[in-house]
Structures are given as structure tokens and as C-alpha cells.
Chains A and B, each alone.
Chain A
Amino acid sequence: MINLQKILDINNRKREKNEFTFELYVAGDTPISLKAASNAKAIFDKYYKNNYALHLFDIYKNPALVARENIIAVPLLIRKNPLPEIRMIGDFSDIQQVKNEFLIR
């Protein structure tokens, strides 16, 4: 079984400061969570190269976050940096739409 955190950790360890910061909220190690994480990573790897950080949170392991971030639907991807905050829900299977939303050309 692929560990969700592992996918992302490799990426995050490399740098201290990033131009782009993302938070991904998922509910448990479900297929839909994995799909969302790997899809998001694939897109960012391609377009932001090494210039981004993607933090993963499991709302079942950390329920306090739900109220803080006002989460209802998951997977939820929030762009924390740069502002403004952009929110997106789903498994990010539509790459074109994700690109449009984050103004990636």
C-alpha cells in the first residue's frame, strides 16, 4: 500500500522557502484521497517544479482542523501562498480545470 504522506514528504524536505504553499485536506487513506494527492502532486511537480510545498492533513486524525478551515467537502485543496486563498474540492482528475483555477499557463 502506498503511504500518502510518503509521496509528499520527498518533495517537502528539499527546501526551506517556497513561492507556492498548498494544503490538502483528505478523509482517511481512501482511494479518493490517494488520487487527489497524487494528481495534485503531479500537476505541481510539472508546473511549479521545486518551488512549492504541499502539506497533507487527514481530518479524521486531526478533527480540530475541520472547524478552523471550515471544511465540509473533501478532498480540499487550499492555496495558502500567494494570497488570495484559493479553494478547490475534488480528486483533481481534470488537470485543465486545476490549471485554470491556479492561473497556470
Chain B
Amino acid sequence: MESKMQDKAVDQKRSFKDFKLLKSSTGIKGLDDITFGGIPLNRPTLLVGPIGSGKTFMAMEYIVNGIEMFNEPGVFMTFEEKTDELLDNVASLGYDIKLLMEKNSIYLEHLEIGPNISKEVGTYKIDGLFVRLEQAIDKVKAKRVVLDSLDSLFASLDRHILRSEFKRLFSWLKEKKVTAIVTAELGDVFLTRMGLEELIADCVIELSNRITNQISTRRLRIVKFRGSPHALNEYPFTIDENGLTVFPLISQELQQKSSAERISSGIHKLDEMLDNKGFYLGSSILISGTAGVGKSSVLTSFANNVCSKDKTCLFCAFEEAPNQIIRNMASIGLNLHPHVESKKLQFYFARPTLQNLELHFMAIKEIIKNFSPHILVLDPITNLMTEGPNSDVRSMLTRFIDYLKTKQITVMFSAAITIGSISQNPSDEGISSMVDTWIMLEDLELEGERNRSMYVMKSRGMDHSKEVREFIISPTGINLIPIKRNKQGLLIGSKRMAAEKESKEMAGKGNFQHQFSEDGAVK
């Protein structure tokens, strides 16, 4: 008996859980993920944001996607831009609205507000707009409606009338059974003061365009979504010829394949340190070190080795121009010319400040799509990091690495660090958590001489060497030598060379030296 009642309760709970708010899919990449299906069906959604934050484009994309993906005609009412201007503007994003207009699946109209509201004398209503909307909706049998934007519509109108008319407009839209996006530039203060948020909107999406270090990043946040769970964070988004793309972390496939195959680092001695086999295929490798320690040389050796094995590499350079890299690397015996000519090696060269990180990654992804390289080299990632706060960059980088892992592309990137930055601020090195193999290059200063050293800080899933080796860059390439010590201390650089020379001389003198050292004491 009791168990039956429990079952009933469970059933009820389940049916409650199964209830879902009907949603209208936006078709915008990423947005449907964070709203869990789209914006509320047959209800108005308020899209707020400052000038140039992409409101019009997002609204237009909603309409166009509705037509192209879901066969739902739409109405686009603009109070701001002239029809021709709007067509030109969105054409730059690859939308051919004119064609859709001919097919009668979109109704686009520009309502001029200016001369209309010449003078207010007493109270009035906005039924004129209702009549026009109704005509437009009936004409194309629209399911989706956009009003762009409220600000110009109500620019010079009385606030009190505005409030009640807003309410009437939104309930009228609900009655018409259309899903509406209404854009507004209204700031937080205005929204709150007018009580519009509670009043009308079942869903409020906020767009912003934040500038950090002179580079702007577009962001999107769902402020409220009545009756539905939604993702709470702020997400970066981009607008380009592919339309609008929101970048939530959740949309990336985290279940990547993990390969047991190995790939050589191109430096024989480094492979030795990594289980004698090298990196895992599809893993991410970080090479970090101070300036001038030889990071680019390690990266290029890797690229060179891959290309000479008839595989392909995409080299993303953010510091040096490709020609300069080719010239410089020739000095350590790496000839990249043939690889470039045979198109096994491609460069992506851009200044980090050219655009925001997300756009860089988009551009790189575009190349990957066409070129599908086996490995990717990023030199250096720290140049990109000057762009914004670390957490931003880290999440973008995480997404990017996830993307590469799904594609099984091995990525190696370098990071320039300042001396002691790890001990001072370990969080700066947050990217280390997302890399599989981390190799440190260090400058050792000993008795007025600087020498390079290398060690493997971590390498997931392999028994890597823990020793610090001397890292030598010579005209014949890169070499790693185990560091020895004698009574005077570490034998690095000139000391090592002196010791080598000495031991050779000793060896020439016969067994004398041998006895000497075996006893461990001077006789």
C-alpha cells in the first residue's frame, strides 16, 4: 500500500519534470544550448544591449534561421534603419533577404517614426502599429516577429503612456501566437525604473560589447527565462560571415577519443625523456620558458619532423612573420622551405591585437577545416593572453583544445613566462591544467654564464624522465645532454666542455686516471 502511494508520488514528480516550456529554436549556434532549446514559444523575448552589440544581427538571424531551418515565415519591423540600408548591412553576413522577400517568407518594413510624433496633445495609443503588424503577420503567415528597436519607437513618447502601451503590445503579440524578439537599448536603470522586466518579458537576453586592452569581445547573457532553466554565465559570441555563434563550454564534445599512438617530438633526446616514444597523438603540449630560451626552436623541430614524415602542420605565428621563422630556423639546421613548397607546412600569421582571441581561433578553425593538419603549432600563446583577463583566455583556450582533441590534432604551444612567475603566482599558469605534457625550458645562470636547461614538468599517462638536462641549440639542431656534477658543482656549458676536454686528455694518458677515480681519493 505504502509503496503504491510512493509510486504515485514519484509518477507525479516525473510528470512535473517532463513538463517543458515550449520553445522556439533560434538556430543560432550555441544559443539553443544555453537556453536548452530556444526562446519561449509564442512569447516575446527582450533583447537588450548597447549600440553596436549585435542586436539587429541576432534578431535578423533568428528570422532567417526560422525560414531556412524551420520553415517559419517572419516579420522584421525596423524603426531604425532604412530597408535598403538594412538589406545591405545583413548582406555582408551572407543573408540574401531580397530572395526571401520574393518568396514571400519574410516581410520587412521600415517604419519611420520621426515626423509621426510631431506633437503629443493628451493621451494616445499605438494601435497604428498593431494594425501594421497584423497586416504584416497575415501577409506572410508569420510565426516569428522582430521589432527593432523599442528605443526609436518610443524615443519621444511619454513614459507613462509607454509603459501601458508596452504591456498592451506584448500581450497582443502573445494573442497573435507569434514568437517575438524585441530589441532595446534600454539600460538597466531604465528597465528597472519602468518595471519592464517583470512586466513583459518572459525572457531577457543581454548583449554587451566589452573592451579590454583595446580589444572588444561580444558577450551574451540570459538575464531571465521564466519557467525554464538556463545557463547563467556570460558567453562570448562572434558575428562573421557564418552568422552569429555563441560559445558555451557545454557545447563542445568532451568525450574525445584518446589515442595510444605516439608521435615523435622531432628531438631524439626529448623522445628519450618521454618514455622513449614521444608525445601521445592528439595530446596538447605546452613549452614554457623565459624569453630567448629556445621555445620556438622546439616548436619548429616538432613541425619540421612531422612534415618530413609526410604529414601536415599548421604553424600559427603571433610573433614572427613566416619568412623570418624560415630564415631563423635555417640557422639551427631546420630547412622549412621544402615543406612550405610541398604545402605540408602552412602558416597562419596574425598580430594578436588584430582581433579578439575567439576570432583568431575561428580563423584557425576555418583553416583546419580545409587543410586538416596532423599537428598544430601556436607560437606563442602568451601573446594572445595580453588581450584579456586570464580566465577569459583560459576558457577560450580550453574550448579550443577540446575542439582540437575531437579532431585528434596534436597541438604544441609555447608560453613565455617571466623568471619566477610560477612560484609567485601559480594561477597564472592555469593553462597547465589543460595540457597533457608540459615542458619547461630554463635559463641557468652559473658563474657569469647563462646556459639553457630543459625538463619535463608533467606528462600525463607516461613514465617520463624527471631529470634536468642541458639544452643545447647548435647549427646542427637541438641536443639534450644529461647534466653531470663533480666536486666543484654542476658541469654545464663551458665547465662541461672543459671537463670533457680534460677527461679526454686523461683518457689519452692511460689507466692512471681510472685507478685514481675508483679509489675515490687522491693517492
Contact = CB atoms under 8 A, between A and B. Distances in A.
A87 B123 contact: no
Given A67-B132, A72-B111, A72-B153, A59 B118 contact: no
Interface string A21-37: 00001011000100110
A88 interface: yes
B124 interface: yes
Contact of B122 (A63, A67, A76, A94): A94
A8 interface: no
A66 B131 contact: yes
Contacts of B127: 27-28, 59-60, 73-74
B126 A93 contact: no
Interface in A44-71: 59-60, 63, 66-67, 70-71
B124 A91 contact: yes
A51 to B, nearest CB: 22
A33 to B, nearest CB: 9
Contacts of B120: 88-90
A63 B131 contact: yes
A94 B158 CA distance: 15
A74 B122 contact: no
A103 B410 CA distance: 79
Given A70-B112, A72-B116, A73-B116, A59 B128 contact: yes
B354 interface: no
Contacts of A32: 123-125
B498 interface: no
A63 B125 contact: no
Contact of A60 (B112, B121, B124, B131): B131
Given A63-B135, A87-B115, A92 B121 contact: yes
B129 A72 contact: yes
A91 B111 CA distance: 23
Nearest to A30: B125
B211 to A, nearest CB: 36
B121 A76 contact: no
Nearest to A88: B119
Contacts of A59: 127-128, 131
A76 to B, nearest CB: 7
A102 to B, nearest CB: 10
A48 to B, nearest CB: 17
Interface of A: 25, 27-28, 32, 35-36, 39, 59-60, 63, 66-67, 70-76, 86-94, 97-98, 101
Given A60-B127, A66-B135, 19 more contacts: A32-B124, A36-B122, A39-B122, A70-B116, A72-B116, A72-B126, A73-B124, A73-B126, A73-B127, A74-B124, A74-B127, A75-B124, A76-B128, A87-B119, A89-B118, A89-B120, A90-B121, A93-B122, A98-B121
Q: Which 5 pairs show the lowest CB-CB distances between chains A and B?
A: A27-B127, A71-B128, A90-B122, A90-B121, A91-B122
13 contacts: A32-B123, A66-B131, A66-B132, A70-B115, A71-B116, A72-B129, A73-B157, A74-B124, A74-B127, A76-B128, A88-B118, A94-B122, A98-B121
